[in-house]
Amino acid sequence: MKFQLGLVGGGVMGEAILSRLIASNAYLPSDICVSDPMPERRDLLAKKYGVQVTPNNLVAAEAEIMLLAVKPQSLNAAAIGLADSPAPCVVSILAGVTLAQLEAMFPSKAIIRAMPNTPAQVGAGVTAIAANALATSEHLGLARKIFSAVGTVVEVAESLMNAVTGLSGSGPAYVAVMIEAMADGGVAAGLPRAIALQLATQTVLGTAQLITETKLHPAQLKDQVTSPAGTTIAAIAQLEKAGLRSAMIEAVLAATRRADELGK
Ligand SMILES: NC(=O)C1=CN([C@@H]2O[C@H](COP(=O)(O)OP(=O)(O)OC[C@H]3O[C@@H](n4cnc5c(N)ncnc54)[C@H](O)[C@@H]3O)[C@@H](O)[C@H]2O)C=CC1
Ligand SMILES: O=C(O)[C@@H]1CCC=N1
């Protein structure tokens, strides 16, 4: 096989994974070939990471593992001819696209469906994976190697992959909106913008770290901050009035439903 990894689609997520694979020495640049129709993306990825690049997906697919990172809407065009490629294993990060759809496209291949997220760019991502019947423990090991380079890996039943997409796949956007809104609140209360953003960002990061390290339930941490007749309960009352919890639940469900639609 010409390459160990063939990346089909070198956009935001493709680059996030690629950059960490190389930074963590999981793969050498010479092990990887990226195909993308956009010359500017190919030039950038070749210069920045030293990988092989090609406009031809069939070239990238001459690899042990073919990683699909195109938009779901581009899949049919991207997959032309790839069923006969030598790659024995296909890994897809496409939202909504099911193992059954991928099996119909790549009948004799091991297939792993994965859902990473953008914190992958800094090695702090979380990826859920689900495999088809042809995937061996060796194939799963390769997928784990790829996604461990960008963060934590969990295995779930395929039926849960759209829910994963609605929660952690799209979730970085919800958290980013929350950080932006908290910073806006700080500015409304008189803080300079840069300090407000720093305080909001570190508060989210620190709280996530605290929950991870103490393993306390989020409700217990909320109670620790909330003094009787204090400032925090005044804020929580406003959040409840505005329906923050319900908005968050409905957001995850809406994204999950959209992933269902993308798979039809
Ligand atoms: N952006 C995110 O937060 C996440 C995205 N995903 C999934 O990752 C996939 C890629 O998303 P992004 O990187 O955000 O999109 P993107 O638009 O940044 O990247 C897609 C890349 O595919 C290339 N492309 C288009 N047609 C192609 C073809 N026929 N052959 C080869 N390459 C082709 C484009 O030129 C582009 O560089 C999507 O399926 C999405 O559902 C999964 C998890 C998180
Ligand atoms: O918005 C999307 O469709 C992609 C999938 C998960 C995150 N971004």
Averaged pLDDT for residues 79-92: 95
Q: Is 78 in the pocket of ligand 1 (CB under 6 A)?
A: yes
Could you tell me if the CB of 95 is within 6 A of ligand 2?
A: yes
ipTM of the complex, rounded to two decimals: 0.98
Per-residue pLDDT at 264: 81
Residue type, 189: A
Closest ligand to residue 82's CA: 1
Average pLDDT score over the chain: 97
Domains and CATH numbers, the chain: 3-158 (3.40.50.720), 171-262 (1.10.3730.10)
Q: Worst-scoring range by mean pLDDT, 38-42, 84-88, 190-194, 233-237?
A: 84-88
Q: Which of 92, 115, 170, 258 to mutate to test the pocket of ligand 2 (most atoms within 8 A of CB)?
A: 170
The angle that helices 218-225 and 193-214 make with each other, rounded to 10 degrees, is 130
Per-residue pLDDT tens over the stretch 16-65: 999 999 999 999 999 999 999 999 999 999 999 999 999 999 999 999 99
Give the C-alpha separation, 78 to 68, whole Å. 9
Contact 149, 123 (CB under 8 A): yes
Nearest ligand to the C-alpha atom of residue 77: 1
Q: What is the per-residue pLDDT across 239-260, written as a single tens digit (0 to 9) for each?
A: 999 999 999 999 999 999 999 9
Reported pTM: 0.96
Q: Give CA–CA dist 158/98, Å, rounded.
A: 8
> Does 52 sit in the ligand 2 pocket, CB within 6 Å?
no
Q: How many helices (H) and strands (E) does the chain have?
A: 12, 8
Q: What is the DSSP letter of 101?
A: H
User: Per residue in 94-143, pLDDT tens?
Assistant: 999 999 999 999 999 999 999 999 999 999 999 999 999 999 999 999 99
What's the 7 CA to ligand 2 centre distance in angstroms? Answer: 18
Quote the CA–CA distance of 109 and 89 in Å, as a whole number. 6
Predicted confidence at residue 212, as pLDDT, reads 96
Q: Is the pLDDT of residue 263 over 90?
A: no
Examine the pLDDT at 146 and tell me if it is beyond 90.
Answer: yes
